[in-house]
Structure 1
Amino acid sequence: MKKAVNTNIYREFRNTKKRLISIIVLIFLGVLVFVGLKSSGGDIRKTALDNIHKSNLADAFVMSNVGLDQFDIATIKRNSNIEKLELVHSSDMMIKNSNDAIRVMNIPDEISKLELVEGRFPEKDGQILLDRRLSSDYKLGEQIFFDENGLDNKTYLKRKQYTITGFVNSMEYIDSFNLGYSTAGNGKLKFVSYVRDSEFDMNFYSMAKIKYDTPNYDGNKTTKSNEYDFSKEYRNFVEVNNKQLKRELSKNADERLEKFNKNSFDTFAENEKTILEEKTNLDAKKKDLVSLQEQLKKLENEFLSKDFNNSSEVEAFSSRMNDIRAKITKTKTFIKNNKEVIEAKWEYIQERRKELNDRLKAIANVNYSVMSRDDYIVNYSTYWDGSYKIDTLSNAFPVFFFAVALLVTLSTMIRMVDEQRLFMGTMKAMGYSDIDIIKKYFYYGLFSGATGWFFGMLFGAFILPKIIFISYGHNYIFKDVTIVVYWRYIFEALLLSLIGTTFVSIFVAMRELNSKPVDLFGKKVPKHGSKIMLERIRFIWSKMSFNSKVTARNIFRYKVRMMMTVLGVSGCTALLVIGMGIKDSISGVSDIQFKQISKYDIISIYNNNMSDENSDKYKEKILHYENVSYVVPIFSEKVSIKLNDGSKDTANIFVTKEKNDFYKLINLRDRKTKKAMKISDIDVVITEKLNNLILECKIANTSVENKKLTVYTEEDKAIDLKLNTNTEWYTGHNIFMSEKYYEKVFGKKYKENAFLVKLKNPTDKNIDNISKKIMATNGTTYLVTSKDNASMINSALDGLNFIVFVMIICSLMLAYTVLYNLTNINISERRVELATIKVLGFYPKEVSLYIFKETFLLTIMGIFVGIVLGTGMHHYIIQNLTPNDTMFLQGITITNIIFSMILTIIFALIVMRIMHTNINDIEMLDSLKSNDQ
């Protein structure tokens, strides 16, 4: 008896391979997306945390506009919360025969240690470690050459030629494309490199790196585990210590300024002294030449007028003239060989003196910066925040995805049990126990569910996160993702998989086995036919063909099957709408922002202590550069915004006096109506995303009712701004105001410190050339180009685009499997019915259409439900997917809807074409089975 049961189980597996595979695929897809997306965000964060701890990344970075001296270092060391301190020498250079700026620093010892990717560390002077980004351009053992970059002709490096010994990564420069600003080249830092500290000739330090003794709020040492480095507690601790350290350092400002001016002149004077000696010597030679020429002329005249007594007197006189002629020739040769060089040096040093005077005048104050990782490391917080956006996707998309897969799986298993009522009745009548009968459904469900779960778990936990990280991490330096096995998600997926296959089939089988064998021998009594609403509309019903009437009645007769099909198809369509909707919302941001809204090509920030006269000269100089169309002066400043969750955000203030010119380069408009907005003198215009944060009550000390926004200056002074309206803006928080309102609320006199620059022909080459010229102009602090901002945003969004692409592919696979399963169930349920109409003489195509008309109509119904469902979920995901300082495009495009409809219909047609063969294989003798039950 036991052998017979096992044989029957084996035959069930063998004879229903297509159904078995389809169930496995459904479970596989559901578990893959569920576990994969749920794990990816955590894996991305773990990768960063491992590298942070491995490198012992600095907690804070201290810099000054005049460097740090021993007095500053002593002040830093007095801070009791500092555990370790490491000092940095650095110099921004140009790679010879290129436009690329590279920062050369000393190799760190214990803080922010380097990751050696290839080669070895330098063992002697003259050797260098290059950024891994340069490994495609240089090889180990080759030499790299640098050009000078400095107003005082001082590069702070002892040599300009180095031998490459290795390639490295640094956690201080995690972004692969955007490393920050540079004082060299076009203002954009392209690479970093490291040499031994002995290679520098500097009497000050460029930066100090700090590791704090970071306790938690209980006063205990933290284990550095989990996500402490990105926690609110850690950030607050660092911020408090940074503010304290900055206050202490600011006390040194006046003394440091005096020392800096003196040292700058002393250093310059050394160079000037050497050139002055050469110039003085040259001037003396010129005077000697004139004197010798006069002496020679005098002797020549005397020679002509004098009477000589003998030849010896003539020879003596001639010898005197020849000596003078030799001296004249020697002096002329010296002047000829050195005049041009010495005069050029003298002219250069005089220009440098004027520039030095201007530069020192511009440095009216010594400013100290104490920055956290978020402030110093480009896109440090963006990397972390992006991982949470993947979590947002994983809380909506995979859950819905898995629900659709389980729904169809559950339907398939229920139908499998219902099909075998006769088998269960026979087995029960023959004396088999309920356990023996249920074994088949238990093993079938267990095998299909466990197999789909196992492969879905493997791919979801170990493969999909790697695929996602390849795309997400291509913007960053990390080579490999750290895989963490999240057992919670794996066991949740296992439980859901077994519920959808094993537990459901057992439950349904047990319910059927409660009936008597005689009841199981017959088919379930079908529901009585009833009129449908369409029948009551006579003028339509009377004109319908017989096949159309049958289709309409069958759709509403089998309501459960109708609902399952509509829900299954709508789920797949909704997933497609969500996936492609997210892609649409992301992909169009850059073009709208940098072509329609912010139309300037370069924003140049210069020293705000520059005099009005020098500011006008600076503007005129930029205007006269070839290809510059016009320049708009503004004031720009960064302020902080405190969020209710304890974190901070940054906003840029743009203050303008020349409003009409400003509107030409920054298009303030309403996103929906496209109506232009104006800046008034009594309030401010803010960007739409910032306004949304206020409406969502996410900003601290901000009143929605009173239309007030509180911002904080660098000195942590609170400023209340009155809100007017919000403007369409997609990247970053901006606040626009007039110079009158700025002076009123900030209590400062308006003084321009930046220029918006528009080019006539803004090609990449022209933008780079103009940027390089502006950076070389005395007074420029740094500049930003629109093309760099656009490429940075596109690069960051590429990672999300790829994740969305994976979602779309999985949705298509699910759509096909769902449609295949539901159509297969429909055909299996009505096998006898199809055989009967074959006997009645229906052609093969008519027999297929008998089923496919219903399937197609239900698919169309499911598509429309899916569009509505997908649109709603897309809105929810977009609202939660965007970072605090970014806004994506809203709404679903018509193209998206049409494309989602077409893809679903295509897959439905493919399934119908495959199933057409299965319908043709139904034998007409199957119609006799109606009498068997």
Structure 2
Amino acid sequence: MKNKTYLKASFREIWQSRGRFIAIILIILLGTLLFVGVKTTGPVLNTSGSDYLEKQNLSDLQVISTGGLTEVDESLLKEIPNVEVESGYQFYYADEEKGEVVQVFSYDDAQKQNQLVVEKGYLPKADNELVLDAAAEKLGYQIGDTFTLDDSDQLDKKEYEIVGFVNSPLFISNKDRGMTNVGDGNVDYFAYVPVKNFTSDIFGVLYVTFDNVKGLNTYGSEYKDLMQKNQELVEEKFVDRPKQRLAELRSMIEDEIAPAKKEIADGQTQISEAKEQLTAAQEELDANRQLLAQLPEAQAAAASAQLDEVQKELDENKQTLTEQETKLEDAETEVSDAEKEMADLKMPTYLFNQRTENIGFQDYGDLSDRIAAIANVFPVFFFFIAALITFTTMTRMVEENRKEIGTLKALGYSRVEISQKYVIYAVLAAVIGVALGVVIGTNTIPRIVFELSSDQYNFQKVSVFYEWGPIIQAGVAFLFATLGSVIIVLIKELTEKPSTLLQPKAPKPGKRIFLEYITPLWSRMSFNQKVSYRNLFRYKSRMIMAIIGIAGCTGLMVAGFGIKNSLEAVTDKQFGPIIDYQAVVTLDDGSFDQTEEILEKNSQINSTLPVINEVLELKKAGQATQSVTMTVPKDVKDFSSYLHLSSLDGKSIDLTNDGAVISEKLADLFDIQVGDELTFYDEDQNEVKMKVQEIAQNYLGHFVYITAEYYEKVTGKEYQNNSFLLKTATMTTKEENSLAEQLLATDEVKNTSFLSSQIETQKGMINNLDPVVLIFVVLSGLLAFVVLYNLTNINISERVRELSTIKVLGFFDKEVTMYIIRENIIFTLLGIVVGYGIGYVLTGFIVRQASMESIIFPLVIHWPAYVISAVLTITFTIIVMIVTHFKLKHIDMIDSLKANE
């Protein structure tokens, strides 16, 4: 009965102090919500993407060859156990009239891999039907329109009816469709045409799926490790295939020209024989003409007419023979050209592209990785602040009940029985807060991030699940913060005697504070101001906790804005301060006279610089192989205006013949120091050894810069530029595309890449994090509000006798409110200042954690971040001030001032 009554009293007290109880739950809820929600977002995004790709049966590997693919290649893949192989056709088509580039794929309704998602209409049923990319609908195409693909080398039909718009798992991004070497170099959309319309016997691509990775998260390490082994197995199968394919191509050409060679030989024999016959006939005709003089005039005239007819026939035969000789010469030229083509054939290159090579795949994975990196720092700090405030609140709550604990001890209650109330209070608050935080956080934050980034990617739905690791961590941490704080204080309080507990704690002795020694300042303060400052320094622990709580929340808001500022700063720091050119023209093999002429005549191009751009590889055991762009300028002096190289301490760098300048992130990844010798590998896996002359500041990508002389020394090759760097006036997208089309039309240029496109792509990737940053700021603001309210509430409950006393002494309501709020204002201002420092340090730590293998995020926080964070914190203080004012007006002075019984 005794315990039952005490239990009821315990729940009654929870209800009576529900404001504090709800505040504790809210703090725990917010901490858990952000911690679990953000920690779950990365895995949820990855799983959602993986589920979509699994559902559409995206191929694990695509095999592409510069020499085309045949049934021999397909049979090699089928020799590997537990694989599915499907062949397909693909090519790029440039519509010059519309200025559009289309990537055309073959569609086969029997094909299982890379299943299309129909957005409108239906998939092709007849040979004269096709479906277009859903992105093409935005360009004005409609179902029922006639679509023209005029490429007789690839297709046997020109006109098709559009019957639907689709998304393909080959293209995860809704914004980017890749690049090509036709048109303006950028693919606008794709099309799927029934496979029966393709005329070639050579496949464009082979799609491969592996049984050993089915069901695995495509962004997970297990999938990546197994796919690396699968790719190595495929590469082993194809190790001799390039040589074989080269022989096949030469054999095909030989087979094609063999009949022509035979016809040419036969024709030459026939022409030679015909020439001899015509010569003999001509000689006979000429001899007969000489005999005409011996005939009578009448007979001579008749014979002459006959001879003229024969001569006419001979001339016609000669003319026919001349035409045959011309045809024969043309045939010989064609055969010669074919033989030259055969001699010039290069070894085909086989490319084995995993899913990571698909358009948008890596960008989406990077988004998840960045969120995961941020989740390792930001929510943890948020969580720490929430747990700290919870610990403080629970500690003070138990200390307030000293008198009740003493009474219960005096009545014979055991320590366990007395503790029961506070344990229930702590456990109930923790369980409710954590449970609500887990449910709300898991079901809101991942969904919000997914929905707000859905316009960037074509994933259909989010696959939300509970990530038990963060949930358990949150549960344990908040149980420690609540239950742990209760146990710690109870251990201290329960060891004291009932008589001691029944007596109120002696107030802290008054002492002179530091400000009192500054007489000119202290003497000008009002009585209320002096009281406030004395109370601040008298109860230092209260002041420290308040400042820590407010500073933590302000710092979190600053960090939220700072993360966005820092991520956005990559493009601002890289393009302009470092890279100071606007385009790169990549040349094909051979001469480039027409290209130079176009660049010289274009008035929007201010200057050009010939360079060598090559992709090298840097390898190290235990470190992922990195692709490095090597740039070799023809003229070092001109290069300094295109690229501004600075050392890590900010000093300008000039290229010399003594070594290479490498980018900062590359040096960091491979632990490279100035003076080290590096071994790079070119596209043929030949070693290229270079000495590190200097390490340069760089934020995006891996680069190595060397002079032309040093290039010739380390590679043994003669310098021949394969690219041009362009400095241009500001150009519109239309003008950029027009220039790219002109250059590609020369057949001297592989691609023209404008940095404006790269900047837009980078900004798009950063914008994907906007919802995450917004969530951080909003939840940090909410936590700041709850912390301020809770601390103020505790402050009032601890000092209710003091406040009642000054009300009895005649203080007005506003004066009583300012008695408390003046302290809050000081706490807030000090918290904001300290919070700025915390936010700066926290942002720096987060951006270092969020940096990727090829990206460094600079630490940048713009002034609005500080202003908005301060304004929000002050706004919450004002709200708390208003609530506090009405609460203080209703203090029961008589009840509060009762003497201790």
Q: Above 0.5 in TM-score? A: yes
2:382 to 401, 406, 427: 401
Letter aligned with residue 601 of structure 2: H
Question: Which residue matches 1:679?
Answer: 655
Question: Which residue matches 2:189?
Answer: 191
Letter aligned with residue 686 of structure 1: I
Q: Tell me the distance in 1 between the aligned counterparts of 2:478 and 2:510.
A: 36
CA contact (8 A) 1:669 1:676 kept: yes
Q: Tell me the distance in 2 between the aligned counterparts of 1:626 and 1:706.
A: 44
1:767 offset after TM fit, Å? 1.2
Q: Tell me the distance in 2 between the aligned counterparts of 1:265 and 1:660.
A: 53
Letter aligned with residue 402 of structure 1: F
1:180 to 178, 181, 196: 178
Q: Tell me the distance in 2 between the aligned counterparts of 1:263 and 1:867.
A: 77
Letter aligned with residue 237 of structure 1: K
Q: Tell me the distance in 2 between the aligned counterparts of 1:713 and 1:832.
A: 81
Q: Tell me the distance in 2 between the aligned counterparts of 1:358 and 1:788.
A: 42
Question: Which residue matches 1:128?
Answer: 130
Q: Tell me the distance in 1 between the aligned counterparts of 2:656 and 2:162.
A: 57
Question: Does the residue aligned with 2:618 lie in a helix, a strand or coil?
Answer: strand
Q: Tell me the distance in 2 between the aligned counterparts of 1:55 and 1:262.
A: 43
1:29 offset after TM fit, Å? 0.6
CA contact (8 A) 1:187 1:783 kept: yes
Q: Where does 1:619-630 land on structure 2 (aligned, <5 Å)?
A: 619-625=596-602, 627-630=604-607
Question: Does the residue aligned with 2:395 lie in a helix, a strand or coil?
Answer: helix
Q: Where does 1:677-826 land on structure 2 (aligned, <5 Å)?
A: 677-694=653-670, 697=671, 703-704=672-673, 706-826=675-795
CA contact (8 A) 2:63 2:353 kept: no
Question: Which residue matches 2:38?
Answer: 37
Question: Which residue matches 2:243?
Answer: 251
CA deviations over 1:265-324 (Å, ceiling 9, x no partner): 99999xxxxxxxxxxxxxxxxxxxxxxxxxxxxxxxxxxxxxxxxxxxxxxxxxxxxxxx
CA deviations over 1:182-238 (Å, ceiling 9, x no partner): 233311112222222112122422222334676xxxxxx997468666656335424
CA 1:719–1:482: 2 relative to 1, 3 Å: farther
Question: Does the residue aligned with 1:781 lie in a helix, a strand or coil?
Answer: strand
Question: Which residue matches 1:632?
Answer: 609
CA contact (8 A) 1:256 1:366 kept: no
Question: Which residue matches 1:906?
Answer: 875
TM-score using structure 1 length:
0.81
1:881 offset after TM fit, Å? 0.2
CA contact (8 A) 2:616 2:627 kept: yes
Question: Which residue matches 2:457?
Answer: 476
Q: Tell me the distance in 1 between the aligned counterparts of 2:818 and 2:498.
A: 37
Q: Tell me the distance in 2 between the aligned counterparts of 1:359 and 1:178.
A: 39
Question: Does the residue aligned with 2:188 lie in a helix, a strand or coil?
Answer: strand
Question: Does the residue aligned with 1:647 lie in a helix, a strand or coil?
Answer: strand
TM-score using structure 2 length:
0.83
Q: Tell me the distance in 2 between the aligned counterparts of 1:139 and 1:783.
A: 27
Q: Tell me the distance in 2 between the aligned counterparts of 1:51 and 1:531.
A: 69
CA 1:437–1:34: 2 relative to 1, 3 Å: same
1:572 to 549, 553, 563: 553
Q: Where does 1:203-282 land on structure 2 (aligned, <5 Å)?
A: 203-211=201-209, 224=216, 233-234=225-226, 236-238=228-230, 240-241=232-233, 243-245=235-237, 247-252=239-244, 254-255=246-247, 258=250
CA 1:147–1:177: 2 relative to 1, 3 Å: same
Question: Which residue matches 2:632?
Answer: 655
1:404 offset after TM fit, Å? 0.8
Q: Tell me the distance in 2 between the aligned counterparts of 1:254 and 1:445.
A: 76
CA contact (8 A) 1:90 1:104 kept: yes
CA 1:141–1:831: 2 relative to 1, 3 Å: same
Q: Tell me the distance in 2 between the aligned counterparts of 1:26 and 1:513.
A: 28
1:504 offset after TM fit, Å? 3.3
Give unmatched runs, 5+ long, in structure 2. Answer: 262-329
Letter aligned with residue 765 of structure 2: A
Q: Tell me the distance in 2 between the aligned counterparts of 1:575 and 1:669.
A: 33
Question: Which residue matches 2:885?
Answer: 916
1:829 offset after TM fit, Å? 0.9
Question: Which residue matches 1:202?
Answer: 200
CA contact (8 A) 2:674 2:695 kept: no
CA 1:115–1:672: 2 relative to 1, 3 Å: farther
Question: Which residue matches 1:322?
Answer: none
CA deviations over 1:70-121 (Å, ceiling 9, x no partner): 56556x4586578333222112224696433221111362343434455543
Letter aligned with residue 743 of structure 1: E
CA deviations over 1:107-154 (Å, ceiling 9, x no partner): 362343434455543222122233233455678842351354xxxx64
1:69 offset after TM fit, Å? 4.4
CA 1:386–1:902: 2 relative to 1, 3 Å: same
Question: Which residue matches 1:158?
Answer: 156
Question: Does the residue aligned with 2:837 lie in a helix, a strand or coil?
Answer: helix
1:174 offset after TM fit, Å? 1.6
1:874 offset after TM fit, Å? 1.9
Letter aligned with residue 247 of structure 2: E
1:547 offset after TM fit, Å? 3.1
Greater alpha carbon shift after TM alignment, 453-462 vs 476-485: 476-485
CA contact (8 A) 1:114 1:171 kept: yes
Question: Does the residue aligned with 2:713 lie in a helix, a strand or coil?
Answer: helix
Question: Which residue matches 1:451?
Answer: 432
Question: Which residue matches 2:65?
Answer: 64
1:385 offset after TM fit, Å? 4.0
CA 1:391–1:572: 2 relative to 1, 3 Å: same
Q: Tell me the distance in 2 between the aligned counterparts of 1:906 and 1:169.
A: 47
CA contact (8 A) 2:595 2:743 kept: no
Question: Which residue matches 2:276?
Answer: none
Q: Tell me the distance in 2 between the aligned counterparts of 1:363 and 1:171.
A: 38
- CA RMSD of superposed structures (Å): 3.5
Counting aligned pairs with the same residue, the percent is 30
1:28 offset after TM fit, Å? 1.0
Letter aligned with residue 132 of structure 1: A
Question: Does the residue aligned with 1:251 lie in a helix, a strand or coil?
Answer: helix
1:559 offset after TM fit, Å? 2.4
Q: Tell me the distance in 2 between the aligned counterparts of 1:358 and 1:603.
A: 35
Question: Which residue matches 1:833?
Answer: 802
CA 1:172–1:262: 2 relative to 1, 3 Å: farther
CA 1:779–1:246: 2 relative to 1, 3 Å: farther
Question: Which residue matches 2:116?
Answer: 114
2:145 to 143, 162, 167: 143
Question: Does the residue aligned with 1:124 lie in a helix, a strand or coil?
Answer: coil
CA contact (8 A) 1:424 1:520 kept: yes
Give unmatched runs, 5+ long, in structure 1. Answer: 215-220, 270-348, 698-702
Question: Which residue matches 2:23?
Answer: 22
Q: Tell me the distance in 2 between the aligned counterparts of 1:162 and 1:593.
A: 46
1:812 offset after TM fit, Å? 0.9
CA 1:21–1:260: 2 relative to 1, 3 Å: farther
Q: Tell me the distance in 1 between the aligned counterparts of 2:615 and 2:452.
A: 32
Does residue 504 in structure 1 map to residue 473 in structure 2? no
Aligned residues: 825
CA 1:438–1:46: 2 relative to 1, 3 Å: same
CA 1:239–1:439: 2 relative to 1, 3 Å: same
Greater alpha carbon shift after TM alignment, 389-398 vs 105-114: 105-114
1:411 to 392, 407, 421: 392
CA deviations over 1:245-264 (Å, ceiling 9, x no partner): 55423313643564687799
Q: Tell me the distance in 2 between the aligned counterparts of 1:658 and 1:243.
A: 40
CA 1:78–1:123: 2 relative to 1, 3 Å: closer
CA 1:616–1:666: 2 relative to 1, 3 Å: farther
Letter aligned with residue 22 of structure 1: A
Letter aligned with residue 18 of structure 1: G
Greater alpha carbon shift after TM alignment, 584-593 vs 159-168: 159-168
Q: Tell me the distance in 2 between the aligned counterparts of 1:671 and 1:5.
A: 68
CA 1:267–1:388: 2 relative to 1, 3 Å: farther
1:171 to 160, 169, 172: 169
CA contact (8 A) 1:362 1:779 kept: no
Question: Which residue matches 1:932?
Answer: 900
